Structure 1
Amino acid sequence: MAERPATSWRHGIAEEAEELAAGTLDPECACMAALFPEELLTATDVVLDVFEGELPRLGEAPDEQVFAVVERVVLALNAVDDAHNGSAFETDEREELCDYIDELLTEHGVDVVALTTRHGLGRYQLTDKWRKW
């Protein structure tokens, strides 16, 4: 199963804290905790909990239903980003979130390539219509 982006970000925070404690990282170079405050991680996880709850019924669902689920998760992530002054998700985080959405849909039986192709989109354009982050 795909790893949640917030889980990866928490691992990065923990690794950075260990390096700081060991004295192998200059405190001025530490940025993970500031980039990923717990409030952001929790809000992202709440959104992804809802998304994951909708996945089991999507394997044979019509395209419109799949797109509706994608739209809801993207709009909810937009709200998280807005709550953090539009700077919650930078380039790497955006890619991780998009990959996570794609991977989970695939794991639940959605052929993302076929879905996007049927609608004149490239595979990695699945979230573009709604995404502000």
Structure 2
Amino acid sequence: MAERPATSWRHGIAEEAEELAAGTLDPEGACMAALYPEGLLAATDAVLDAFEGELPGLGEAGDEQVFAVVERVVLALDAVDDADNGGAFETDEREELCDYIDESLTEHGVDVVALTARHGLGRCRLTDKWRKW
């Protein structure tokens, strides 16, 4: 099962906290908790909860229904990013979120390569139409 980006972000926060506690990381080098405040993590997880709720049966759905689900998750993530003045999701986070969406769709029977090809898109362009982050 695809790992949620916020899960890996939380692991990074925990690892950094352990290193700080052990004295193996200079506090000035610590950045994970500032990059991923709990509000951002919770908001991202809430969006992905809703997305995951729409995945069952999507493998048998038509292209329009699949794209509607992608549009909803991307617009909701846009709102999370906007709430952070557009700074919540940088390059690494964007890639993780896009990979998560793609992997989750694939795990639920959506052939993302065929879907995007039918619409003249490359696989990596699945979210581009709606994505601001």
Match of 2:65 in 1: 65
Give the AA of the match of 2:45: D
Specify every segment of 5 or more residues in structure 2 that has no aligned partner in the other structure, as ranges: none
Give the AA of the match of 1:128: D
Match of 2:103 in 1: 103
Distance 1:90 1:32 in 2: 13
The share of aligned pairs that are identical, in percent, is 89
Match of 1:75 in 2: 75
Report how far residue 84 of structure 1 moved: 0.5
1:22-77 CA deviation, whole Å, 9 max, x = no partner? 00001000000000000000000000000000000201100000000000000000
- Count residues with an aligned counterpart: 133
2:42 is the counterpart of 1:42:
yes
2:119 is the counterpart of 1:119:
yes
Match of 2:91 in 1: 91
2:13 is the counterpart of 1:18:
no
TM-score, length-normalised on structure 1? 0.99
Specify every segment of 5 or more residues in structure 1 that has no aligned partner in the other structure, as ranges: none
2:52 is the counterpart of 1:52:
yes
RMSD of equivalent CA atoms: 0.3
Give the AA of the match of 2:2: A
TM-score, length-normalised on structure 2? 0.99
Distance 1:129 1:59 in 2: 21
Q: What secondary structure is seen at the aligned counterpart in 2 of 1:109?
A: coil
Runs of 4+ in structure 1 deviating by more than 6 angstroms, as ranges, are none
